[in-house]
Amino acid sequence: MWLLIPIFFLGFMTPIQTAANSRLRQSVGSPLVASLVSFTVGTLFLAAVVLFQKGSLLFEAELIERLPWWAWLGGLCGLWGLTVNIIIFPKLGAVQTALMPMLGQIGMGIVIDSFGLLQSPVFPFTVTRCMALVILLIGIVLIVRRKEAAHRRANLFVWQLIGISGGAIFAMQPSMNSLLSVGLYSSVHAAFVSFLTATIMLVLLNVAIPGDRVNLSRIFHADNRPWWSWLGGIIGGTFVTGFAFFASKTGIGLLLITSICGMLTNSLIIDRYGLLGAPRKPIGATQYIGLILVVIGIIIIKTC
């Protein structure tokens, strides 16, 4: 059970990653450039871990033909999920930036489990799981429900949908990376390939989109940038490496539940006190009840 402490800490660090990447975006002026910096730092970090573990970053060329084409797209899913978080964080705050993608992840996860997509094992959508999903949705509604003008709620709804889409796409990454890790005989090596793919795609996008060209002087010489804005890639790489290490020791269900509890705890703290550049949003009894319902719903979904 002592392993739950570092797993909780991994989840606890996730909102800090989002805040760091969001602050980086303010400095460089573009979510794509911020994502590029974050993924580059994460790729270098994972490359060092793989070199320490295996002594080489290379793999057999025949692996490209042996695995299905979609097994190599995990990095693109991670790219979309990270960029969405950077975009919605200033709009929704830490708690909703954690919850909306989580809702998308759980929804897509249920679809993948129910139909055995991406070569995943089939887990039927039972009545118990349906009830757990309803509990989860009620909890999220209670958390995001606030007394605001109608036009403000409509505007937030758009950003909430974007957040859900980021989580839904991101939910496909574990299945892709899982298959890739089998071929590479290393979960960390698979994570490195995933990060490297996303970094290469971001370089191409930054070259192709005129308004998002990388400005090195702006990246390294921005004024008033806090030191923690550089931590997004390192936290992301640590998160992926930690998941790869603990998954076989605790099981995926307990791993996800514990990390999500850590993520929600820190998101609540950041929103309550307006830390790390997040808009300050007082948390009332309704939001606390909603958080409890979310945790209950997740536990039922992950254990049934």
- Closest by alpha carbon to 139, among 100, 170, 105, 86? 100
What does the alpha-carbon distance between residue 217 and residue 294 come to, in Å, rounded to a whole number? 43
- Per-run averaged pLDDT (10 residues), the chain, 304 residues: 81 86 78 84 89 87 86 88 84 79 80 78 78 81 61 71 88 80 84 90 79 56 67 81 67 65 82 77 79 79 66
Report pLDDT for 19. Answer: 84
Report pLDDT for 47. Answer: 92
Instruction: Scan for tokens 């980021």, then name that residue.
Output: 166
Q: What is the pLDDT of residues 1-29, one digit of tens each?
A: 677 788 889 889 988 888 888 888 777 77
CA angle 264, 113, 235 (to 5 degrees): 35
Instruction: Scan for tokens 């969001």, then name that residue.
Output: 22
Q: How many other C-beta atoms are found inside a 10 Å radius of the C-beta of residue 196?
A: 19
- Residues whose CB falls within 8 Å of the CB of residue 235, separated by 6 or more in sequence, listed in order: 13, 14, 16, 17, 20
Burial 2-15 (b: 16+ CB within 10 A, else e): eebeebbebbbbbb
Report pLDDT for 200. Answer: 92
pTM: 0.74
Q: How many other C-beta atoms are found inside a 10 Å radius of the C-beta of residue 69?
A: 8
What does the alpha-carbon distance between residue 149 and residue 66 come to, in Å, rounded to a whole number? 55
Report pLDDT for 203. Answer: 86
Own/partner contacts of 35-38, CB < 8 Å, gap of 24 or more, are 35/79, 35/82, 35/83, 35/86, 35/198, 35/202, 36/199, 36/202, 36/203, 36/206, 36/214, 37/219, 37/230, 37/232, 37/233, 38/82, 38/232, 38/233, 38/236
Report pLDDT for 51. Answer: 92
**Residue 15, amino acid:** P
